Structure 1
């Protein structure tokens, strides 16, 4: 510590005005982390580059926020957060008390007595205090330095004075508004959609006025890459108006759209609740079985779950880091970046990195209220930072799981999105997905498709009528989310005509792209005698 004191006193000062060669590798002052060029001199010493003003600051001082001991100029080696601004920095000097774990940034020594902000109609006044307080803007604890508005009777952190009033977050489709206090009856649930802990409505939070969802400030503002500030609240967000339903032709008494036009289909679609009539059909959006309300086409074999119809044309998602929103697309064979499954159903595509995310993963990973799960009596919530074991597939150390708060039950999002019913050519009845085989008779723990042993603790498909069971992969096959016979569009440099999705079983022609035999999934143009692997790049030549 004394060495630091002496460095500032004895080192020669070098001018920044004459373009000295030593400035080439210098950018910021080691003390305050501001650009060196903002001031006249700096002092190099063993990698330390200091402004003249930072070289002359006192080694020890007393501060009103910590009267027990003097504060010493030092490195923040323990990475403690500043008691004034709550920010933790990796580099630079702080004034600190090692025994009390107390540090203050150099620039935070003298906080402004009055702060005015455009987002609040009254000025905030500085209040130095030794006892903790709960910030009325973000709902978290603060110490030592607070700002108060006497007119509104609120107390906040310094940084929370400038919290944006409106943000657009990748965690939600609609804009989120900040408010200091809420009425409990305004919300369906009082749990943060991100962390699932309760939100105290007596303190500040972000909320959606359309969905009545609520978010902790610390959760929705944690990652700057996942939100943007809305400067003008009158500007309409294009994402919020980009509905996939281009026209509603008819509504029922409850206000539901019963006949619609959808931008991905050329015919009118009709709403139906007749789930049992279409046991062997699947949704063309997600390729999962029809088990809930759906829209169907009376002129062709086309079905869409109601949830899939209501997805927007463009969508921001928290699990994709690129800036632009994802675009809803169809009629393409793609590999989903979240579940690693091939599909030719609907997907959201990133125009920047060209990654695809299937609708099953988009829906499963969309934050919301608790989800129901077949075979489990309690609701499930998705915890995106939790690591653990999936009870369905047995994979361990998975980050991000659907979890039950009441018992030790966790599901990977891939397993959560599996079809709850499926069909296999060896079984005349529909098979239901199950998560635990209670049958203690060991001879029953075999797969009736491959006749190999299966783990009774993992998920499986079961027919209660025939008392048959099978591995999930044996029932679904290698490409369960590919609709054979469908037509897909490809880039012109791949082929000039649309291609048909096929699966070669007995005849294996050579791929027009890589020259190797097409042993399984392929794209074919029968008129041109052209075929390529589904995995081959789009620049294959015919």
Structure 2
């Protein structure tokens, strides 16, 4: 008996039918094939598969923390189903989040029972415990507990390459292994027996994280993309999620040059991350020293609050270390260059080292060690293993050049209830002071259009030199090397001088949010930049000087801007400086001079000399790099053309040896029986060459063979 339903997608009663006409289901947008049970409306064209009609209007799904509702939506091409990662058809029904999260699932995908690691136990014959199996709800076959390797060592080969369903790590004992010989799936016993259902993570303190099995996702901490078992936040608006490997990380360290704690992540996938210390990614470092970073590239110092990252070799490492095979303590140094030679070696492994990387060195003798050669000792100090004191100071790249003793007890500073930030200082500025930062070109008595037009003119004049890149631009390259005279240098000088960003002067968010520290009673600057200011004050007699009429807030803001520029200059190696870096740094220094007149650069003439020195240094290094790069490119091109020429000569000789007559004897099909002599191909070629333009190819063949 045919039934009727009242479906939430339609206002009329729907009737169950079977007939041969082909319709399209309103829910899944798929055809309703002939004789397939479905529901339709007798008053309008509303058809639904019977199975689609049974999808509930509201569901809870373990892949999302909020309730989902089945709705019809107009989907953009970029929106994909969270479960199957396939796109939606136009006006398709889908399960969407009731709290307006950007979460979408196909109706059929939403109806699939989601896996959990809840297990039920079954017994093979009811008598022997060895026959017990475990049936997990996320796996279709029973699984047997394998505690240790059996008598046959073939098991190791069988399990090679397998990955745990939950943590995606390789096989290890004990494990629950699928009883089906054709199924490679298994669970580590620890993944299902010991993992808690909730964890509290130091980078997610406001709510515990819940354990869930999901589709493959990326861990927010180590950035691995193949996590199926994750801990995620169930709070509205929070998308924090981590893999099980990162759920119990407890190595948290303090970094002086960053305002948040850092977590030491082991086993990270971070080749694309730009290190905030050396300003490079591992992919960029690969071109310089693959060997020296291989053993540490999976370690990462990471701040989850603001996506701040440091390579292990650039991160907060013990400032001193004791190595059992050397009598003296070793000190962490950012770089060691010995005797102006070009080859440097590690005294631990006796392998070559790159002088650009940090090392541990002995101050009493010429003993130098790679960072990666001392990893066990470094880890013990960072983690405080075996009661080894972790009171040793940790230094990140570049921190040892500044004076960190600024006369304030760190505990008193951290316990200070006053939470004044750089953003507060910006709010203290008057409207006139703010306009000097937002429209700094007025400090020169100019308007924006005037300065920008001058800048654009000189930028365009220099563009042919800035865009050098291909050896096909050889004429421009030659001009660059031969005509780099005073007029060309003047064009570059004016491009730097008139650079004017439309946004004016800006302070990055990572500084705006920082609490300020008072230094020398006159300046309030971000905590991480205070040591730089202390070092400057010691160099200039305890005072930067400046205009006496500056307000305390403006004095602190301009001092902060100066420290930011100095910090960026110190973190960028000469060979990595870009033309855009120079423009920004000089522009900021000019504005700081105009506003504050700090005695770091006492007059405009000295700033002009600094600008011209920037140009000389920048182009000196660029010329050296260009000559080396283009020489290598030309050498590679010459070698390629030589190989190509040799290949063509060999092909030419092969073509000369081809037996054309033999080919014609086997393929020619004359209408009349005729002899094919040695001059046959010659006569063909002659006739082709001298045939009249009016003849068609068919007419030529007809004349030749008829």
Q: TM-score, normalised by structure 1?
A: 0.29
Which protein has the bigger strand share? 1
Q: Which has the larger radius of gyration?
A: 2
Q: TM-score, normalised by structure 2?
A: 0.23
